[in-house]
Amino acid sequence: MTFPDPATLLRHRPPAVLVREVIDFTGTRLACASMGDGPWKWPQLLEGGAQTAGLLAGTQPDGLSNQAVIADYRAVRVHAAGHTGPVVFAAEIDRRVMHFWRCRIAATATDGRLLLEGTVTLAPPGSATAA
């Protein structure tokens, strides 16, 4: 599957777009190259992971639109408080509960060092949860 430019799929607009292009897609896992080299603080790494999860959830059968919102983050391990350099953001489907999609996410430096990992739950727009 050829993936369109993420910026055309996301509701985000620069400078909030943190993913530049899709570099791997297996159907249930998606990896994106970062937009720029940072410097990144951990919340930005988390946001990049969430954007990647949003793109992935949008590809699923009966998946979410680009109006989806964040319901929660769980078990986010911060391995690096910050980082300078390109980053690979990855998301993998963990489970779906009704209209909520939970994805495992990770941010990795190009040398393979894990910077951050955790899970994000995405919800359709209009849910009681939103961010």
Partner 1 sequence: MTGCFADAAVGRDGARARLSRAALERLCDGHFPGDPIVPGAYVAGVMADLGGMVADGRALSQVERCTFLAPVRPADGLVAIASAPERDAEDLVVGVEVLDGERCLARGRFRFA
Q: Are 89 and 107 in contact (CB under 8 A)?
A: yes
Alpha-carbon span 12 to 15, nearest angstrom: 8
Pick the piece of the chain touching partner 1 (CB under 8 A) from 11-19, 22-30, 86-94, 95-103: 11-19
Q: Is the dihedral of CA 95, 27, 66, 7 positive or negative?
A: positive
Per CB under 8 A, 104 contacts partner 1? no
Residue closest to 27 by CA, chosen among 7, 1, 4: 1
Q: C-beta of 27: minimal distance to partner 1 in Å? A: 25
- Smaller CB distance to partner 1: residue 63 or 118? 118
CB 110 within 8 A of CB 39: no
Binding region for partner 1 (CB under 8 A) out of 28-36, 54-62, 76-84, 91-99: 76-84
Candidate residues 1, 2, 8, 75; the one interacting with partner 1 per rule CB under 8 A: 75
Which stretches of the chain bind partner 1, using CB under 8 A? Answer: 11-17, 41-44, 46-47, 50, 69-78, 81, 118, 128-131
